[in-house]
Structure 1
Amino acid sequence: MAKDPVPPSSLPGEINIASRSLHTQLNRLITSRLPLGLPPHTSSPTLYTTGLLHFAHIYLTFESLWQDLLPPPSHTTSPSSPLLSFLLVDPWDADPGNTNAPTSPQMLEFLRNLRPKGLSRSGRLRRDLKALTGLSETDLSVQLSQFPGAKVQEYCAHIRKAVAQKPHVLVAYAWCYYMAVFSGGRWIRSELMKAGEGFWQGGGKKVGDDVPLGEAGLSFFSFPGTEDGEDIKAEFKERLAAAEGLFTAQEREEVVAEAAEIFKYSASLVRELDELLATSQEELAAAEAAEKDKERTEERERAAVRPRRRPRTWLRRPGIIGMVVALSCVAWLAVYHMGVQIMP
């Protein structure tokens, strides 16, 4: 999950610094496994869909809890929150534990308005899963009401408890997971698109569907509008930066600490997927070797089309030629005068 560089004095900057090593480890886990879900390692999007379902529960949980902070709609449930938090609550784990002091009205108002329109991912995740699995809306809801693994269930329980106690930690989830889609997610999207329409049609998408992948299948990594989400990202960061003064020192520490938990839990989901899919170290090693070969080939191709530069010797460096000319003139004059003096 890639994160944009920000000044270290800001709250996002503190998150980035505190979680740098954890972020690097998670990136390595994800990027090394992504090729296994694509050709030539597999002929269908089943593995990718399984991984997407794992992480979908995380977005659906924290976004539905966030939706619960909003005023109730005047007519129908908002389409941006298609799976409300109560659907993922374990009745035996409903007690969030002791809560901190009540959240200030200012903090709640900030949280309610932090996310620009188009940032939430729940609706797009459901759309992708429906397209990739071929399930009906009802059948997909039934599947999403069950956890695909123990680590997913554990993580979702942690999210519910953390947000119930400290709603401001939602900022950590927003920064880590939305910035991941903006940054590393775009690279992932480009890699997934290389598999081609035929590969993705091997899942739930039917041959002849006229809905592009960016709207159903891979819409999770896409944003509405013509700027590919750059306008949404800028607005989100502006809203977050404008509220820096709202956080107490303790709240800042809690947000940073929660970000570290996010990376640890996310890594545990990747490892759980390894177990569920029986990912072997041999497969990972082969995939990593293939990716390195691919990178070397691409680098050679780029180097082949680069214009060749003439080697810059010390004589070609700026100022060197002028200095050499000047020294030559001085030397010539010295020799000339010496010659004049010794001539009979």
Structure 2
Amino acid sequence: MDSSPDSNGRPALPVELHAATREKHHALNTSIMARLPLCLPPSTNTPLLYAKGMTVYGQIYFAFEQFLESSLASANQDPRLRDIYQKIYFPSLIRTTRLRHDLDALKSTLDEHLAQEVDQLVKDSQAFFSGVTASLSEKPHVLLSYVWAMYLALFNGGRWIHRQLASAGAEFWGNKTLPLSFWGFEKNDDCGMDGENLKVQFKTAFMEASSLLTDAERDEVIEETKKLFDMCSKMVLYLDNTKSTEPLAQSSDTEPVLSGLSTSTLSMATLWGYVASSFAALRPGYKSAWERRVAMVD
């Protein structure tokens, strides 16, 4: 992927994103590195925490993927934005259907009252979905923030996390077919083994899409990505301390605030922070702590 400056002498957007979020990325990584095992045996004997966490943090995928697909389907879409969206839209990357299928499978293995807890959490986390949608409606070009952070997190951390989750075994997950399709990619010529071909295609397409932004829009994409990291850090800190079960609240500036999730969601909340913090540093030759850790287990 070309990371050379653009025609205005400005660094490529991925390079700017890395520089702007490096400290936040490091801080978040440090705070959650030890928490991944909490949603797996021997810390727990049920996938309830995983189901709750993916219910809540899946809202970000549900929100921006719905926004992307709805925008592409709209006859009134601005031509330049449509061009941007078409470049970053990869059907093989869409996670919504996979995650909903996983969650349905997970709930089917849980006791009735535990499944009801997951269902209640769907309602409680709607403000998170609404907050992301509001941000995108106000500044539709910042969709690049969500696409970049969330899909590269999936590419760079997903394979390792998938292995950790799968290691719990079929008995833990309650089904021989593990409800972990969210983390996978089809092994075909388009995706390659573990999505490597798709990752390269996505990075190239993202560069092409970002070249269509104005300088002001690029600045807003960078700021939105920083907010996304801050949001994940706030989730970790809040969920470490909360014992409330009140519904999710939303602040006046439309940023979702996790103000009502029980401590039972903590384990997967911190796992999601792990995922969201793991998109690769794009400076040539740079390897983050996450990448070095993944390299050691590959």
Question: Amino acid of the residue matched to residue 127 of structure 1?
Answer: H
Maintained 8 Å contact 2:28/2:233? yes
Aligned mates of 1:222, 1:112 — CA distance in 2: 23
Q: CA deviation at 1:158?
A: 2.9
Question: Amino acid of the residue matched to residue 90 of structure 2?
Answer: P
Specify the alignment match of 1:222 in structure 2: 184
Aligned mates of 1:113, 1:144 — CA distance in 2: 36
- 1:148 counterpart = 2:114: no
Superposed, which structure 2 residues align to 1:95-174 within 5 Å? 104-134=78-108, 143=119, 146-149=122-125, 153=127, 155-174=128-147
Q: Which has the larger Rg?
A: 1
Question: Amino acid of the residue matched to residue 224 of structure 1?
Answer: E
Q: CA deviation at 1:225?
A: 2.2
Maintained 8 Å contact 1:119/1:178? yes
Question: Amino acid of the residue matched to residue 134 of structure 1?
Answer: S
Mark the CA change 1:107 to 1:69 in structure 2 (over 3 Å): closer, same or farther: same
Note the aligned Cα RMSD (angstroms): 3.2
Q: CA deviation at 1:146?
A: 4.0
Structure 1: gaps (5+ residues): 74-101, 285-301, 303-344
How many aligned positions are there?
234
Specify the alignment match of 2:202 in structure 1: 236
Q: CA deviation at 1:47?
A: 1.3
Aligned mates of 2:166, 2:122 — CA distance in 1: 29
Which secondary structure state, in structure 2, belongs to the residue aligned with residue 147 of structure 1? helix
TM-score calculated relative to the size of structure 2: 0.69
Specify the alignment match of 1:68 in structure 2: 70
Aligned mates of 1:228, 1:187 — CA distance in 2: 11
Specify the alignment match of 1:48 in structure 2: 50
Mark the CA change 1:146 to 1:38 in structure 2 (over 3 Å): closer, same or farther: closer
Aligned mates of 2:147, 2:62 — CA distance in 1: 12
**Per-residue deviation, residues 14-67 of structure 1 (Å, max 9, x unmatched):** 111101121122223443222111111111111111111110111111111111
Aligned mates of 1:57, 1:265 — CA distance in 2: 13
Mark the CA change 1:106 to 1:120 in structure 2 (over 3 Å): closer, same or farther: same
Which secondary structure state, in structure 2, belongs to the residue aligned with residue 229 of structure 1? helix
Question: Amino acid of the residue matched to residue 110 of structure 1?
Answer: I
Mark the CA change 1:48 to 1:231 in structure 2 (over 3 Å): closer, same or farther: same
Maintained 8 Å contact 1:18/1:256? yes
Identity, in percent, stands at 35
- 1:260 counterpart = 2:233: no
Structure 2: gaps (5+ residues): 6-10, 110-114, 243-261, 271-295
Q: CA deviation at 1:273?
A: 3.7
**Per-residue deviation, residues 174-224 of structure 1 (Å, max 9, x unmatched):** 0100001111222211211211111111xxx4xxx5xx32xxx11111011
**Per-residue deviation, residues 272-306 of structure 1 (Å, max 9, x unmatched):** 443212689xxx9xxxxxxxxxxxxxxxxx9xxxx
Mark the CA change 1:278 to 1:223 in structure 2 (over 3 Å): closer, same or farther: closer
Which secondary structure state, in structure 2, belongs to the residue aligned with residue 26 of structure 1? helix
Aligned mates of 1:180, 1:7 — CA distance in 2: 23
Maintained 8 Å contact 1:5/1:13? no
Higher relative contact order (CA 8 A, sep 6+): 2
The match for 2:28 among 21, 26, 29 is 26
Aligned mates of 1:45, 1:118 — CA distance in 2: 26
Q: CA deviation at 1:12?
A: 1.6
Maintained 8 Å contact 2:55/2:121? no
Q: CA deviation at 1:72?
A: 5.9
Which secondary structure state, in structure 1, belongs to the residue aligned with residue 194 of structure 2? coil
Mark the CA change 1:72 to 1:253 in structure 2 (over 3 Å): closer, same or farther: closer
Aligned mates of 2:64, 2:164 — CA distance in 1: 27
